Structure 1
Amino acid sequence: MNEKKLNEFAARIRARMAELADLSASGKDAQAVVELDQQAVGRLSRMDALQNQAMAKAQQANRDLETRRLEAALIRVKEEEFGYCEDCGEEIPVKRLNLDPAASKCVSCASG
């Protein structure tokens, strides 16, 4: 893979990481502790709030995982290992990297 293409992937990765950081910042309120105030909120409304809180925490966990995968991809770019399977060393097809720039394995190694 040429240097221009590597720089394009690195820019896409950084842009996605910034997007994830923005989503994380905007989702902090949804993850806050749900206060028990029976006069302001009924039992069903509280259950709804707890469920929304759990979903927000799960979404944050998914964003954290994706961020770690993207950080690892940036490290591979810097170490000139980006685009190569970490298991077999074969080149990962550009189409696969276009779909998931954080992919670290070729299709055959990823499928088991």
Structure 2
Amino acid sequence: MNDQDLARFRHLIEERLAALDEEDRLGRGGQSTVELDQQAVGRLSRQDALQSQAMAKATQARRDGMRHGLGLALERIAEGEFGYCEDCGEEIAEKRLALDPTARRCISCAS
């Protein structure tokens, strides 16, 4: 993989990290504490709020995992290991990396 390809992937990763930051900003309200006052919120409405809060927290955990994987991909770019399978050492297909820049294994080793 040449320097131009690596720069393109670095830019793609940085764009995805920025998108995750924006999603974090938008999702903060859904993770806030649910009001316990039964008179202010009915029982079913409170259950809906608790369920929404749980889904928001799960979504945040997914974003955190994606952010971690993208950070590791940037480290692999810096170390000159990006685009190579960590198991067999062969190049990972560029189309695979374009879909998932966090991929660390080629198709053969991943399956």
TM-score by length of 1: 0.96
**Matched letter for residue 53 of structure 1:** Q
Q: Which runs of 4+ in 1 moved over 2 A?
A: none
The CA deviation string for residues 56-85 of structure 1, in whole angstroms up to 9 with x for no partner, is 000000000000000000000011110000
Partner in structure 2 of residue 95 of structure 1: 95
Aligned residue number for residue 76 of structure 2: 76
1:28-39 correspondence runs (5 A): 28-39=28-39
**What is the CA distance between 1:98 and its match in structure 2?**
1.0
2:105 pairs with 1:105: yes
Q: Could you tell me how far apart the structure 2 residues matched to 1:87 and 1:35 are?
A: 50
Unaligned runs of 5+ in 1: none
The one-character-per-residue Cα deviations of 1:90-109 (angstroms, maximum 9, x if unpaired) are 10001101111111111111
1:6 Cα offset (Å): 0.4
- Number of positions where the alignment pairs a residue of Structure 1 with one of Structure 2: 111
| Identical amino acids, percent of aligned pairs | 59
CA distance in 2, matches of 1:8, 1:61: 27
Partner residue in 1 for 2:13: 13
CA–CA distance in structure 2, aligned partners of residues 72 and 46 of structure 1: 39
**Could you tell me which residue of structure 2 aligns to residue 48 of structure 1?**
48
Structure 1 stretch displaced more, 28-37 or 8-17? 28-37
* Residue of structure 2 in register with 1:85 after alignment: 85
Give TM-score, length-normalised by structure 2.
0.97
Aligned to 1:22: 22
Q: What is the CA-CA distance between 1:25 and the residue it aligns to?
A: 1.7
Deviation of residue 55 (structure 1)?
0.2
